[in-house]
Amino acid sequence: MADTILSLAAENLLSPIILFFALGLGAALVRSDLSVPEAAAKALSIYLLFAIGFKGGVSVSAHGVDSTLLLALVAGLILSFAIPFTAFGLLRVMTRLGTVDAAAVAGHYGSISIVTFVAATSVLQSQGIASEGYLVAVAAAMEAPAILSALWLAAKFSSPDTNAERARGSKGLLREILLNGSIVLLVGSFFIGFLSGPKGLSEIESFIVSPFKGVLCLFLLDMGLVAGRGLRSSAGLLRPGLILFGVLMPMIGAVAGLAAGSLIGLSVGGTMLLMTLSASASYIAVPAAMRVALPEANPSIYLTMSLGITFPFNLTLGIPLYLSIAQATGG
């Protein structure tokens, strides 16, 4: 199994999407003036969310709604809500983070990184391994519950005065969660794909299938630049305990995803994707919510943890590891 993991990792490391991420990361660390304009980066993000959601909806339309889909949605919701509690406990033991910072970081690890999910999907495609298309819907469902867990943890272990002040500043939180642009686009595209079905996909296939990996490479170039700048500016905050947590927590989440996927009866590819979702950490939806709900939390810590440590780990080593485990256990 170790040979398989190393082989997959080596192959993954030489894939264009990983190499473009490495290019962006390296360019930022050596202070190159390479950059992706903000408007272009947003356009790339919109394209990816649209394509992912639409193709997932088409897959569900062709597959049909069944009990496995519903069970996967329930499992995703439970995983997203429960993982932050484990993350919070580990952070309090392994690091010196305060209650609010630990809760904010924990919330990121219960939510998901859609780009990590896409990278895992690309690995499955390169290996010729099928997966359940409705896991896109599971990904969307896993965005928000972790935010609620983080807020509960912060409230439970903070002083009453701090909680009262936070409540006054969180009136727009529900709107921030439910109407977050990435969630709206992903879910909306999913339902459009579901309603239009394979016929709808055939009409725009040349736009969302063939160019997809090229767009993903450019997006990961930008992600590498963002991660590199974060690591460069926040290096003083990254104590050994935080770095170890950023690598350990994804593997704990992946084990939870493996257990859930096996109980539901997902395929090997579907189990690997659920493991990846459970192992990833948000850097879009949750940071936006934390800015509203926990403004006293330090963004340099939770963004650097999710984007600078866990994201690269999952891209390079985590995804091959999760696939090898899913294959070894039979999904």
Look up the pTM and report it. 0.85
Average pLDDT over residues 90-117: 93
Is the pLDDT at 39 greater than 60? The verdict is yes
Report whether 216 contacts 17 (CB < 8 A). Answer: yes
* pLDDT single digits (tens) 206-254: 998 889 989 999 998 998 998 888 888 877 777 889 999 999 999 999 9
The residue assigned the tokens 């690997």 is: 272
Contact present, 77 and 273 (Cβ < 8 Å) = no
pLDDT at site 246: 95
pLDDT at 28: 92
What's the burial of 197, exposed, middle or buried (CB within 10 Å: 0-12/13-18/19+)? middle
Q: Which one of 57-61, 76-80, 186-190 scores highest in mean pLDDT?
A: 76-80
Position 174 scores a pLDDT of: 61
Cα-based distances in Å from 80 to 85, 107, 139, 305: 10, 9, 10, 18
pLDDT on residue 295: 85
Residue 271 pLDDT exceeds 70: yes
The rounded distance, in Å, linking the Cα atoms of 273 and 218 is 22
Q: Does the pLDDT at position 169 exceed 80? A: no
Position 147, amino acid: I
More confident call, 184 vs 263: 263
Average pLDDT value for the chain: 87
